[in-house]
Amino acid sequence: MHTVSNTGATNMLNTNELIALYKDESFKTAFIANYIEKGVHLHVAQKEFITAFDLIANDIGNQDRPAIKLSPARSIKSTFLMISSYGLSFDPNEKEVYVYGEYRDNEKIGLGVTLGYRGMRRIAMYSGKVKVITSEIVYESDSFTWLGADKAPSFASTGRNQDDNISCGFVTIRLIDNSVVSFKMSAAELLQIENDNIKMEAEFSGDPNNSLYKSAWRERCLRAALWRSAYREYQHLFTDTGKVINNEGKLEPETESSSAFETMMAEALAEHDNQQAVNG
């Protein structure tokens, strides 16, 4: 449980600053231009602007996290510009990026960001360096031969029988120059992620069966976990700055320079996504 002093005064100050930010035409122009640069249609970019501020208005926080609107306006501004510069959707249903308030040292409030697996995929595809991405969960009844990290594995599925034991998972990324990089994850690693999520769900809701890993969405969840791991391994291929995420993983872009946005992005994302992102 956290408490913040002068909450009423802070709310009023932040409200006034956020209204000013919403009305800031230079900020809005830069925000929308970032999406257009990524090939997003104008009306979609304009909708993202509205969605971003809807998040601020509708988020009330909880006992562990403060409302987004309590974050400093400068933090919200820089974070929103950084997210838009990667063409990521603010719509939580898109599962590309998750924005939330968080407590920092000395009870200060900042803006936290977790990149969803779809956001990782979008960054890769928007980079202009990737032609196609393939990810598969391999079962023991499938035909599979690993040929190394610089070749696509030999794989043939006998059908999606999810009652079969998992053998491994792999991601193959074909780059624009037609070269290939591949990533393999063992069954033990995948099942550990699954078990951790089930345990977390049991602690969070009291019922482990609420985990999507215990549902018909299990394979999709495993694919998402597989892709997140592959992205961390090969992220240097997708961005000019090289590393985009670390093993700690939150974006804290409280700066006003675009070069610093890149630096902050290079220190981004969680090894373990938040509950919403894991279930996405």
DSSP helix/strand/coil, 215:
coil
Q: What are phi and psi of 185, to 5 degrees?
A: -125, 130
> What pLDDT, on the 0 to 100 scale, is given for residue 114?
87
Mean pLDDT lowest among 23-27, 36-40, 82-86, 101-105: 101-105
Q: In Å, what is the CA distance from 242 to each residue of 41, 92, 260?
A: 28, 27, 14
Query: Widest CA span of the chain, in angstroms?
Result: 64
Burial class (CB in 10 A: 0-12, 13-18, 19+), 211: buried
Q: Which 8-state DSSP code applies to residue 55?
A: H
Question: Which residue has better confidence, 85 or 105?
Answer: 85
Span 37-50, mean pLDDT?
95
Q: Are 266 and 243 contacting, i.e. CB atoms less than 8 angstroms apart?
A: yes
Residue that is written with structure tokens 């997140």 in the block? 228
Is the overall model pTM greater than 0.85, yes or no? no
Cα–Cα distance measured from residue 208 to residue 156, given in angstroms and rounded to the nearest whole number:
33
How many residues are listed for the chain in this entry? 280
Span 91-100, mean pLDDT?
91
H-assigned helices in 24-116: 25-37, 42-58, 73-85
Confidence of residue 15 (pLDDT cuts 50, 70, 90): confident
DSSP helix/strand/coil, 17:
helix
pLDDT, one tens digit per residue, over 161-218 is 667 899 999 999 999 999 999 999 999 999 999 999 999 999 988 898 899 999 988 9
Q: Are 69 and 15 contacting, i.e. CB atoms less than 8 angstroms apart?
A: yes
> What pLDDT, on the 0 to 100 scale, is given for residue 161?
63
